[in-house]
């Protein structure tokens, strides 16, 4: 019998919980997934950490990632963006495989260093863009690849949230350029750019040039528990327009100020033969228009023949956001166990970062920017 893969996880909050839940679900729903030992969970606050270890099923805790990266087969980097590069590179150099949350890094230079470390390493290096693992997104990719939409002409992506509409909403690291890199652009736009590359990259080619605009609406926010305001040094919203290699036009947008939208990631694609629309808030559905149909048909993507769904429930028994983490963990850990490839890789994470970086450069220069 093969030994279980030992896993160390940095981060025990939102993403720590989402990935730990996925690790716990795998043996029940994906029995062919490799065996995993939830060995150690890493963070700074010992009390919160010990509580997380109990609830998430980890054997031990550590307050320094340096004590962990040499000892595990797989290192999950689920910390804030400024903690992505150094621990991930150290783990890769120590021979571990690494699964790192998005965006790959706060800056393009750090993303490049991570990509180069991954190229030189034996382990698998994955960037956790979970929305690639929504069954309806896989189904959409299949339609595009089969030519059902024809030549791609329009790609539209918007990711809208509203948790900062209130000017007194508390300051967090996500509003600090040093910790996060950028705001809505890196946190939300990274997902859109990754999905667009995934869905139409093979048909429309790369983005050749783009123009971007970033905006911050509220410049400082109260620090919880302190009589202090801290500056907001990232964007609250961005917009960008893009031209693809095949001449298709793209428009992208994200905001944390879109009142009424909680987690609305919408992708619309129009081709010479048809169109499709996806919305994360209705993630079991895909709107498709092909051939002579006069309008969109809603396809419920929950059949056993649809991607990943034979592992869950009978047709029509919908799945949710957390299942996307189970699917990506299944693919990533299988690649680690079998020595196979995994995408999205650090290479993909770097390519996304290069586009985000170009959007920022365009905003600063006030003009279109070409991507080499
Ligand atoms: C931010 O609000 C956030 O939690 C992102 O960090 C996630 O990547 C996204 O899936 C949901 O929104």
Whose alpha carbon is nearest atom 5 of ligand 1? 187
Q: Is residue 119 a contact partner of residue 145, using CB atoms and an 8 Å limit?
A: no
Q: Is the CB of 187 within 6 Å of ligand 1?
A: yes
188 CA distance to ligand 1 middle (Å): 7
User: Could you tell me the pTM of the whole model?
Assistant: 0.97
Residue 347 lies in a domain: no
Q: Does one domain contain both 147 and 226?
A: yes
Q: Is residue 269 a contact partner of residue 212, using CB atoms and an 8 Å limit?
A: no
Number of domains present in the structure of the chain: 2
Q: Does one domain contain both 271 and 164?
A: yes
Q: Does one domain contain both 149 and 110?
A: no
Q: Does one domain contain both 35 and 73?
A: yes
pLDDT band of residue 296 (cuts 50, 70, 90) is very high
pLDDT digits (tens, 9 = 90+) for 98-115: 999 999 999 999 999 999
161 CA distance to ligand 1 middle (Å): 9
Q: Is residue 137 a contact partner of residue 199, using CB atoms and an 8 Å limit?
A: yes
CA atoms of 174 and 191, how far apart (whole Å): 16
**pLDDT beyond 80 at 1:** no
Residue 179 lies in a domain: yes
Q: Is the CB of 161 within 6 Å of ligand 1?
A: yes
CATH number at residue 271: 3.30.360.10
Q: Does one domain contain both 234 and 174?
A: yes
Most ligand 1 atoms within 8 A of CB, residue of 183, 256, 263 to mutate:
263
Q: Does one domain contain both 223 and 81?
A: no
Residue 340 lies in a domain: no
217 CA distance to ligand 1 middle (Å): 19
The ipTM, to two decimals, is: 0.95
Q: Does one domain contain both 304 and 180?
A: yes
Q: Does one domain contain both 167 and 122?
A: no
pLDDT digits (tens, 9 = 90+) for 43-85: 999 999 999 999 999 999 999 999 999 999 999 999 999 999 9
139 CA distance to ligand 1 middle (Å): 23
- Residues 128-142 have a mean pLDDT of 98
**pLDDT beyond 80 at 269:** yes
Q: Is residue 181 a contact partner of residue 193, using CB atoms and an 8 Å limit?
A: no
- Residues 154-168 have a mean pLDDT of 98
Q: Does one domain contain both 154 and 171?
A: yes
Q: Does one domain contain both 123 and 178?
A: no
Residue 158 lies in a domain: yes
pLDDT digits (tens, 9 = 90+) for 326-360: 999 999 999 999 999 999 999 999 999 999 999 99
Residue 267 lies in a domain: yes
Range of the domain at 218: 135-282+284-318
Q: Does one domain contain both 210 and 177?
A: yes
CATH number at residue 124: 3.40.50.720
Instruction: Identify the pLDDT of residue 2.
Output: 85
Beta bridge partners, 239, equal: 213, 253
Residue 110 lies in a domain: yes
Q: Does one domain contain both 48 and 140?
A: no
């Amino acid at each position: 019998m093969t030994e279980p893969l030992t896993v160390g996880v940095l981060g025990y909050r939102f993403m720590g919980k989402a990935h730990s839940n996925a690790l716990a679900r795998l043996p029940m729903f994906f029995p062919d997934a490799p065996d995993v030992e939830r060995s150690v969970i890493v963070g700074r606050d010992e009390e919160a950490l010990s509580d997380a270890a109990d609830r998430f099923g980890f054997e031990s805790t550590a307050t320094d990632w340096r004590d962990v990266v040499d000892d595990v087969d797989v290192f999950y980097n689920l910390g804030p963006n400024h903690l992505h590069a150094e621990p991930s590179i150290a783990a890769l150099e120590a021979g571990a495989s690494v699964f790192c949350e998005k965006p790959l890094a706060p800056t393009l230079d750090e993303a490049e260093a991570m990509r180069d470390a991954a190229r030189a390493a034996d382990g698998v290096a994955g960037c956790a863009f979970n929305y690639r693992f929504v069954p309806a997104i896989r189904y959409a990719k299949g339609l595009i690849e089969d030519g059902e939409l024809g030549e791609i002409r329009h790609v539209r992506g918007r990711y809208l949230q509203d948790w900062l509409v209130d000017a007194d909403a508390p300051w967090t690291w996500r509003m600090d350029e040093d910790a996060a890199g950028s705001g809505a652009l890196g946190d939300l736009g990274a997902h859109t750019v990754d999905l667009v590359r995934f869905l139409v990259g093979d048909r429309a080619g790369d983005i050749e040039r783009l123009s971007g605009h970033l905006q911050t609406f509220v410049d400082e926010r109260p620090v919880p528990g302190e009589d202090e305001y801290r500056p907001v040094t990232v964007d609250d919203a961005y917009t960008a327009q893009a031209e693809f290699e095949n001449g298709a036009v793209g428009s992208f947008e994200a905001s944390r100020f879109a009142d009424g939208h909680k987690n609305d990631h919408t992708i619309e694609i129009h081709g010479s033969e048809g169109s499709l629309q996806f919305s994360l808030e209705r993630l079991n559905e895909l709107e498709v228009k092909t051939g002579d149909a006069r309008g969109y048909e809603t396809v419920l993507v929950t059949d056993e023949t649809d991607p990943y769904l034979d592992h869950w429930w009978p047709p029509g028994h919908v799945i949710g956001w957390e299942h996307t983490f189970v699917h990506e963990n299944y693919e990533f850990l299988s690649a680690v166990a079998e020595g196979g490839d995994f995408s999205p890789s650090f290479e993909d994470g770097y390519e996304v970062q290069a586009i985000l970086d170009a959007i920022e450069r365009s905003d600063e220069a006030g003009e279109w920017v070409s991507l080499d």
